[in-house]
Amino acid sequence: MSDKVRFYFDFVSAYSYVALNRIDTVAARYGREVDWHVVSLPQVLAHHNAVSPRDQPAKFAHNMKDFPRLCRMNGLPVTFPPEVPPYGASLHRLVFWRLKRTDPALAKRFALAVDNRYFGLGKEVRTARQLASACKTYGVDIAFDEIKAAETDRRAEKALADAFAQAIADGMFGAPFVVCDGETYWGADRLDHLEYDLKRKIDMPRGYEPFPLLSPFTERNGPLFRRIRNGKITFGFRVDARHLNPREVVHGGWLASFVDVAMGQSGLFYMGKQGLHPTVHLETDFIMPIAPGQWVECEAKLVNRSRSMTFVEGVVTADGARVARCSGIFKILSDLRDL
């Protein structure tokens, strides 16, 4: 089991709003869970003798434009509330840690409800009553009395203090802040960097290595892997959420794209060549659905060739079970290189 991703955020951090709404989805694509930790960002800044962006006019002016743009890029609603950024979030943090003690999933939903109300709807969340209203708006079942009880919850106070100590030990200096396998990522836009690294840690069978010939399409939906053994080449990938259709099985369009690459490159391999191999004709017969988490392989063979074309056939398996068969015709280019 891979280690959990540690995610530090604060309710006074606008950019945490974006990360809150993305972090679990990004991690889940690669079979990772996320452990959320709310901390006091003003306390973190004070520890480092750092100045808040609010007290840096040029940076604050930039953030007032940059933050809404980042929200729009991530499909999130954004409406600036009366006070930006918010202050007085002590109760918010205590409620989170009180809830997390018994129900971490509920604590996450509380945090999302509060930030979505504040940064998404532009409504205040200062008081216990306003926090309860945020929960009601987003269907989070937390009673007003439960929120009020956090005000005097000593165990929640200790959890918050412990989280601050852990955050400083992890190197946190701003929010949001993520720690994964010893690497650190600061800022909501660095979730793309986290995903870049997680892609390269995908569990794969022995002998496979990342396939180096990438396009923007395969880079976004991959990575793809290859194994060369006993004179044969096999291509593979691990199924995650990006590859699924509405039925929660692998989309036929993605599988066809995968076998297109696998057959084209296999044809070149058996010719002793490398390079691009444009597709002339492609057929894929789908035999069985492929579920999230399965390891998918395509083993193809060169069945014939002419001076300008190759003819390739292949079989696709998922965890060893046959799920598709495929065939294709590919153009032989003049600028191929020897392996």
Give the SS3 label for residue 319.
coil
C-beta separation of 290 from 255 below 8 A: yes
CA–CA separation, 339 and 156 (whole Å):
62
Joined tokens for residue 87:
């202050």
**Strand pairing category for 5-9 and 34-38:** parallel
- Overall pTM surpassing 0.85 (yes/no): no
- Residue 222 is given by DSSP the state -
CA distances for 319 relative to 81, 159, 265, 308, angstroms: 51, 43, 22, 35
Q: How far apart are the first and last CA of the chain?
A: 38
| Residue 86: per-residue pLDDT | 54
Res 339 pLDDT > 70: no
What letter represents residue 121's amino acid?
L
Rg value, the chain, Cα = 25
Res 333 pLDDT > 80: yes
300-321 mean pLDDT: 96
As separate numbers, helices (DSSP H) first and strands (DSSP E) second, the chain gives 12, 13
5-18 mean pLDDT: 96
| Residue 85: per-residue pLDDT | 52
Give the SS3 label for residue 298.
strand
CA–CA separation, 214 and 177 (whole Å):
30
Res 87 pLDDT > 70: no
Confidence of residue 255 (pLDDT cuts 50, 70, 90): very high
Q: Which percentage of the chain shows pLDDT scores above 90?
A: 79
| Residue 76: per-residue pLDDT | 96
Res 83 pLDDT > 70: no
The least confident of 5-14, 48-57, 91-100, 173-182 is: 48-57
Task: Please list, in sequence order, all residues whose beta carbon lies within 8 angstroms of the beta carbon of residue 189, skipping any fewer than 6 positions away.
Answer: 70
- Mean model confidence pLDDT for the chain: 92
Confidence of residue 46 (pLDDT cuts 50, 70, 90): very high
